[in-house]
Amino acid sequence: MRFFDYLFFKYYNWAKKVGDGDIPATTSVTCISLVVTLYFMDFVMAYYFFIAPPTNFNGIYKYIFPSIFLFMFILLYCTFVFKDKDKQIMEKYREVWTGKKHLGAILFPIVSIIAFGIELYIKMLINRGVL
């Protein structure tokens, strides 16, 4: 959970710096939820591409990922923002994380995007018959 506190702190400060001073807590929760959903999509895509391809697409798949995003948003919002917990997190870690250690907050979304691209590239090679 400390990693999510770190991400919340970094994205909260980023949201304030780019001019979203009204609702930086909601912006940071949205960013974290979006990236966690992307990680889940990477996992599901890798599973279906390389292990067990789905046999029946009955239309329910288009509702799974938005539902996961909404669930993660509500869960993280209740964890970080509800009852002014965002202020407590900001005060608790202000001296520890201010001005340094940006690498984790930057790599967290980049790794999921790179994994997504690699999976698509490998699947393309499989469909061409190269692999």
Note the pLDDT tens digit of each residue in 76-113. Answer: 999 888 888 888 888 888 877 777 778 888 899 999 99
Residue 85: closest CA among 77, 74, 95: 77
43-79 burial code (b ≥16 CB/10 A, e <16): eeebeeeeeeeeeeeeeeeeeeeeebbeebbeebbee
Cβ-proximal residues to 104 (8 Å cutoff; 6+ apart), any chain: 3, 6, 7, 10
Q: What is the pLDDT of residue 74?
A: 95
117, two tokens = 């691209």
**Tens-place pLDDT, residues 24-36:** 888 899 999 999 9
The CB density around residue 115, as the number of other CB atoms within 10 Å, is 17
Residues of the domain holding 62: 2-128
| pLDDT tier at 59, thresholds 50, 70, 90 | low
Residue 21: closest CA among 13, 31, 9: 13
In total, how many domains does the chain have?
1
Q: What is the pLDDT of residue 54?
A: 67
Q: What is the pLDDT of residue 82?
A: 84
Q: What is the pLDDT of residue 18?
A: 85
13, two tokens = 């400060």
Residue 37 has φ and ψ, to the nearest 5°, of -65, -40
More confident residue, 67 or 94: 67
Q: What is the pLDDT of residue 107?
A: 92
Q: What is the pLDDT of residue 124?
A: 92
pTM for the structure as a whole:
0.84
